[in-house]
Structure formats: structure tokens, C-alpha cells
Amino acid sequence: MNTQKMQKVRDKRGFLPEKVVYLPKNQKDMRKWMALLWLLSVLQLPVAATDFETATEAVANMKVGWNLGNTLDSNSGDVENMWIELWTSRKPTDYEKAWGQPVTTRQLIHMFKEAGFNAIRVPVTWYPHMGTVKVTNINNSGHWDMSTWTGYDVNAAWMARVKEVVDYVIDEGMYCILNVHHDTGASTTAWLEASGAGYNKAKERFESLWTQIAMEFKDYGEHLLFEGYNEMLDGYDSWCFASFAAPGNYNKASATDTYEAINNYAQSFVNAVRATGGNNAQRNLVVCTYGACCGEGSWNTHLVDPLKEMKLPSDNVSGHIIFEVHSYPNVSNLNNVKKSIDDMIKKLETNLVSKGAPVIFGEWGTSDGNDYTNYHSNTLAFAEYFSRKATEAGMGTFYWMGLADQDDRAVPKWTRADLKDAIIKGYNAGVETAVRSAYRTTEKGNNTLYNLQGQRIQEPQPGQLYIRNGKKYRK
């Protein structure tokens, strides 16, 4: 025992708690340690859990990410044409392959890890796998009568497959963001609507869903994050900002109701997860703005409203919330899109980061030339610039699909190796710039701490390396 001074412990899904644990140095100390553990078990006193890294640290450690899209998020999407439900046996693989992607493999995730990615966002659509709904065949189309939707329990086979895919990511030592995806949006099957009435109707089912997910993954370490909801829209299915699609393009009362609802959903999500205890008491949680809108553009003064109106949810632990937005600009004019990116990041810093939480781009890409076959001439330059500027600002990035898709995933091989390289190059350049800036800033003699990715740290962790006073510093 005298040779065992310390070691890192790993849970069943790897890499966490991932904090230093001091072990007894000799048999006498071991007997004391065992006696203490016995006493705690008899008295049923709580043993302090190992602290999770903060949200800011998690964003830095994710490095660069990718979306496993059109996979576990696939669904029929139309209550008048529920074709998966009508024409398949509804196995998890029937849904997973429904939108043209092959069944996900561990080898695919490993390929991303080897390329330098350290995070995978796993979008999941849950409504076809919760409770029961009556589906009838009307003119060879499945009719989904949502008024008959009863029960909240998630199908066990579906949950098991979601867990298997999450394990692929975690076992690679990567970060995984697990979310609620096409339960939101503009489709007729979307049951999560950003309105007061919509929230009141969905609240119980929404909180039950997150309670089930949180309990399933309760023992997972800090590499697993939960994202409460995806691009939630109002009753008008407005993009860009709340009530944009209303008559007259804006209705103040409707918009106010919508933003209040988004904040209520975010709070319900946090409350439901935290209530399950265990590692979920400190797990880093992600909440989207309305529609995951990023405030990009200047053509309407209301574009920044989703950022301004988003609140940081109340939490019983500090520093474990992340804001999420999405961005898909048109890249036909490279100079214009670069300026737009710069302006957008300033808006995010002013209106979200200032509220006390870091920001990630949970999805990003281009609105033109972003399919499997067409490549806009500016795409690579845009991708490198976007990745670099977001990284410099301490914001995480998760590219939407595109890099390895359809048959290429089954090999696996890169669909767009050049785009992958551009994203990684931009990230590396962003880290280099941020680190240089951190060294220069701290040379002035203040005690501000930065991590080794150049991001400012509010709550340093013991044993970690930081930048302070122009040098590396260990807390």
C-alpha cells in the first residue's frame, strides 16, 4: 500500500469522476479509512460527491464537436402521414435508418475522435417512443391522433439504443450532449410549443421525460451533458424571433408570452434533472434560446430579442448552465458573412455570456451549398473563420452533419475531409490566439485566471493548470 499515493478513478462509462483521490498509504491508515466508511454507512451520512468541472471548463474541454444528425432524431413528422409507424415494425433501427443514414457504429465515433473532435451532439426525438397513440390507416397514410396520446413512459428498447450510442461517445473519452430534438419545431407532430398555453399543456409530460432520461444516465460522469429542448417555436412557427410569422410580422403580447414560456421550459428542465440527484445534481445542462436563434443579422430590430429575453435558469449549483444557439448564414459573400459572424459574437457576449453562462453553437453550417453534393466556393473559408472566431470567444461549436454522412458513415470515411480539416484548422488557430491573449493580459499583474485554451475561469479547480501573471500556474 505504501506505493499507492494517488490514482484516478473511473466510473463504468469511463473518465469520471476523473479527479484525484488520495488513498491510504499503509495498512494502519487503510483500517482507519475502512472504519470511517463503515461508520458513514451505519449513520447514513452523505459522502460529498466529486465536483464536476464548470460549464466554462466543459466548453473548453469539448474542443470541437459534430452532430450525429438524421439518426436518432428521425421521425415521421406529420400527423397525417405517420409512415414509419404504419409501414415498419417500429424497431429502434427502423427509426434510426428512416432518414437515409445507416445504423451508427462505434467505429464512426472513433474516426471523429482520431481526427481531433472531442464532442458529439446526439439529437433524439422522443415522441414516437413515449406512451401510446392511436395510429389509423387512412388512404395508405398513417393518421396520428394526438388527442389519444396517453402515458409518459419511454419505450425500453428505444432508451437502450439511445444509451448504446451515448456509450459509443463516452467510451471514446469524448463529451456527449443528449437532447430532446424534433419534439419541437414546425412539424405537426411537435408537442413542445413556446407559448403559455403550450407550456401548461406539455409541462407534466416534458418533466416526466427528463426525469426518465436523467434517471437512466444518473451515474454517468461529467462528459455527458443534457440539452433540454431543440429549436422550440411559437404557435405561428416563427423563425428568427418570436411572433415573426404573426400577422404584421410582430405581436408584442404574443412575443412576451413566448419568451416567458421558453424560460419556463428551461427552468422545468433544470428542476427535473436536479431533482434526480446523484451526478445529475452537478451535471452541466444546456438550454436553447427561442428557436435557438443567435441574433444574427440587422434587418430587424427584434432579431436580438431571443438573446435579450433569455434568462439564466435558477439553479441550486452555480456555474453549470450553458446557453445554446444555432447559426446557418448565407456564405455567397465572404466579406459580408465574416462581418456578420463578428457582429453575432458581440451580441452573444453582450446578451448571453454576460448573464453568467458560456455559449455553444449546438448547430452551425451554411444556408447555401450545405447539402451532400453542392459545395459553395466560400464554404471552406467560412468554416475555418467561424470555427476560429467562436473558439477565440470561448464558444463551443458543433457542425451539423455533412462531414460524414449516408453510406460513408457505414465504412466509415469522410464525406468532406477538406471541410473537416478547415474546422479543425480554425479551432487550432482560435486556441492559439486566445492563449496568446491570455498570456498578454495576465502579464499586467492582475490575478485573472485563464485555462490552457485561453478562456477566463471564474472557479478554478485544485490541481489544474491555468495561466496567471503571464505564466502557467497550478491551483
DSSP letters for 388-407: HHHHHTT-EEEEES-SS-TH
Question: What is the arithmetic mean of pLDDT over 305-313?
Answer: 98
Q: Counting Cβ atoms within 10 Å, is residue 366 exposed (0-12), middle (13-18) or buried (19+)?
A: buried
Three-point CA angle 220, 224, 230, nearest 5°: 135
For residue 66, is pLDDT > 80?
Answer: yes
Q: What's the CATH fold of domain 55-441?
A: TIM Barrel (3.20.20)
The length of the chain is 475
pLDDT of residue 368: 78
Query: Which tens digit of pLDDT belongs to each residue from 390-425?
Result: 999 999 999 999 999 999 999 999 999 999 999 999
For residue 396, report the phi and psi dihedrals to the nearest 5 degrees: -80, 155
Rounded alpha-carbon distances, angstroms, from residue 325 to 81, 233, 244: 30, 14, 18
pLDDT tier for residue 442 given thresholds of 50, 70 and 90: confident
pLDDT of residue 438: 85
For residue 128, report the phi and psi dihedrals to the nearest 5 degrees: -70, -10
| Contact (Cβ atoms closer than 8 angstroms) between residue 354 and residue 389 | no
Of the candidates 385, 373, 377, which has an alpha carbon nearest to the alpha carbon of residue 341?
385
What ranges do the domains of the chain cover? Answer: 6-43, 55-441
Which residues, including other chains, have CB under 8 Å from residue 41's CB and lie 6 or more apart?
none
**Range name among 37-51, 105-119, 292-306, 330-344 with the lowest pLDDT average:** 37-51
Question: What is the arithmetic mean of pLDDT over 365-377?
Answer: 71
Query: Which tens digit of pLDDT belongs to each residue from 318-332?
Result: 999 999 999 999 999
Query: Which tens digit of pLDDT belongs to each residue from 162-190?
Result: 999 999 999 999 999 999 999 999 999 99
pLDDT of residue 376: 81
Calculate what percentage of the chain has a pLDDT beyond 70: 88
Question: What is the arithmetic mean of pLDDT over 129-138?
Answer: 94
| Contact (Cβ atoms closer than 8 angstroms) between residue 358 and residue 398 | no
Q: Quick count: other Cβ atoms within 10 Å of Cβ 207? A: 18
Query: Which tens digit of pLDDT belongs to each residue from 242-301?
Result: 999 999 999 999 999 999 999 999 999 999 999 999 999 999 999 999 999 999 999 999
pLDDT tier for residue 369 given thresholds of 50, 70 and 90: low
Q: Rounded mean pLDDT of the chain?
A: 89
pLDDT of residue 236: 97
Question: What is the arithmetic mean of pLDDT over 373-393?
Answer: 90
Rounded Cα gap, residues 396 and 207, in angstroms: 27
Maximum separation of any 2 CA atoms in the chain, in Å? 78
pLDDT of residue 458: 73
pLDDT of residue 147: 92
Question: What is the arithmetic mean of pLDDT over 128-142?
Answer: 94
Query: Which tens digit of pLDDT belongs to each residue from 2-31?
Result: 333 333 333 434 433 333 333 444 555 545
For residue 32, is pLDDT > 60?
Answer: no
pLDDT of residue 48: 34
For residue 361, is pLDDT > 60?
Answer: yes
